[in-house]
């Protein structure tokens, strides 16, 4: 059965700290791995990763994929209170013989204290 | 920008009622999805559709049905609402299976 596991499930840090969020997966016919940030409403897209070892960066956020070890990390440096959110990892693969859909992890709830 | 609109932000319904959750996207995407999100369980796929009048069951279709009569609209139907269907419901669309765009969600409470 396809699965995506995120750790930790929750994390509390102080402003200025650096955090690393983890995502491991077991998915048939892996296509890509995506990270989303969810605040009060809908998830918003952060990164899509398809190749191992290539870091994607956006400001203080960065992410990398290891397709051999089947995991990805999301790094946030110099955290701010606005980074407080649930971070979702999702993997696109084949599911039930259909064209496929995203399989989500349960998310990591990050709380950044001032 | 792609916009995915869910008709209601908050909804309170009674047990046994038939409930319709509507989702409309404005970018001619073929693929549309309904998820529910619960604390500790993450997002779970209920149903998805890759074309008009086409639907496929996701991981937790029991108690739900869907309708896609037009490309831009994907409706989730709770045939007889129950308290265990109290949840946040998220609709998403995509042109291909990557990079979903989510609606803002409907928080449904069944009393």
| Distance in angstroms (rounded) separating the CA atoms of residues B20 and A25 | 34
End-to-end CA distance of chain B: 37
Specify the range with the lowest mean pLDDT, choosing from A75-79, B4-8, B84-88.
B4-8
| Distance in angstroms (rounded) separating the CA atoms of residues B43 and B39 | 9
Residue A44 and residue B98: Cβ atoms within 8 Å? Answer: no
Distance from CA of A79 to the nearest CA of B (A): 24
Block mean pLDDT (10 aa), chain A, length 114: 92 97 92 89 87 92 95 98 96 58 90 97
User: Tens digit of pLDDT for each residue in B17-53?
Assistant: 999 999 999 988 888 999 999 988 888 989 999 888 8
Instruction: State the pLDDT at residue B1.
Output: 66
Question: Could you tell me the residue ranges of all domains in chain A?
Answer: 3-113
Confidence of residue B2 (pLDDT cuts 50, 70, 90): low
Instruction: State the pLDDT at residue A2.
Output: 83
The correct answer on CATH 2.60.40.10 for the domain covering A3-113 is yes
Confidence of residue B83 (pLDDT cuts 50, 70, 90): very high
| Distance in angstroms (rounded) separating the CA atoms of residues A104 and B90 | 13
Instruction: State the pLDDT at residue B50.
Output: 85
Helices and strands counted in chain A (H then E): 0, 11
Q: Which of B56, B99, B100 sits opposite A98 (nearest CB)?
A: B56
Question: Could you tell me the residue ranges of all domains in chain B?
Answer: 4-102
Share of chain B above pLDDT 70, in %: 94
Which residues of A are less than 8 Å from B42 in CB distance?
A: 88, 104-107
The correct answer on CATH 2.40.30.10 for the domain covering B4-102 is no
The alpha carbon of residue B5 and the mean position of all alpha carbons in its chain are separated, in whole angstroms, by 11
User: Whose CA is closest to B90, among B14, B18, B25, B12?
Assistant: B25
- Is A101 in CB contact (< 8 Å) with chain B? yes
Chain B interface with A: residues with Cβ < 8 Å: 4, 33, 35, 40-45, 48, 50, 56, 58, 90, 97-105
């Amino acid at each position: 059965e396809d699965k995506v596991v995120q750790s930790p499930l929750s994390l509390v840090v102080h402003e200025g700290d650096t955090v690393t969020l983890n995502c491991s997966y077991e998915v048939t016919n892996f296509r890509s791995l995506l990270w989303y940030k969810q605040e009060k409403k809908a998830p918003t897209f952060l990164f899509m990763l398809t190749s191992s070892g290539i870091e994607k960066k956006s400001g203080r956020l960065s992410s990398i994929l290891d397709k051999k070890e089947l995991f990805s990390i999301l790094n946030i440096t110099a955290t701010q209170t606005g980074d407080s959110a649930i971070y979702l990892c999702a993997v696109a693969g084949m599911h039930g013989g259909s064209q496929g859909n995203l399989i989500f992890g349960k998310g990591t709830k990050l709380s950044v204290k001032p | 920008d792609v916009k995915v609109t869910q008709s209601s932000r908050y909804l309170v319904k009674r047990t046994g009622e038939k409930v319709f959750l509507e989702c409309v996207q404005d970018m001619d995407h073929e693929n549309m999805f309904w998820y529910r999100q619960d604390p500790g369980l993450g997002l779970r796929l209920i149903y998805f559709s890759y074309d008009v009048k086409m639907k496929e069951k996701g991981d937790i279709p029991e108690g739900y049905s869907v309708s896609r009569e037009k490309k831009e609209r994907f409706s989730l139907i709770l045939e007889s609402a129950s308290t265990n269907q109290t949840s946040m419901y998220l609709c998403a669309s995509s042109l291909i299976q990557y990079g979903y765009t989510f609606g803002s969600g409907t928080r449904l409470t069944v009393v």
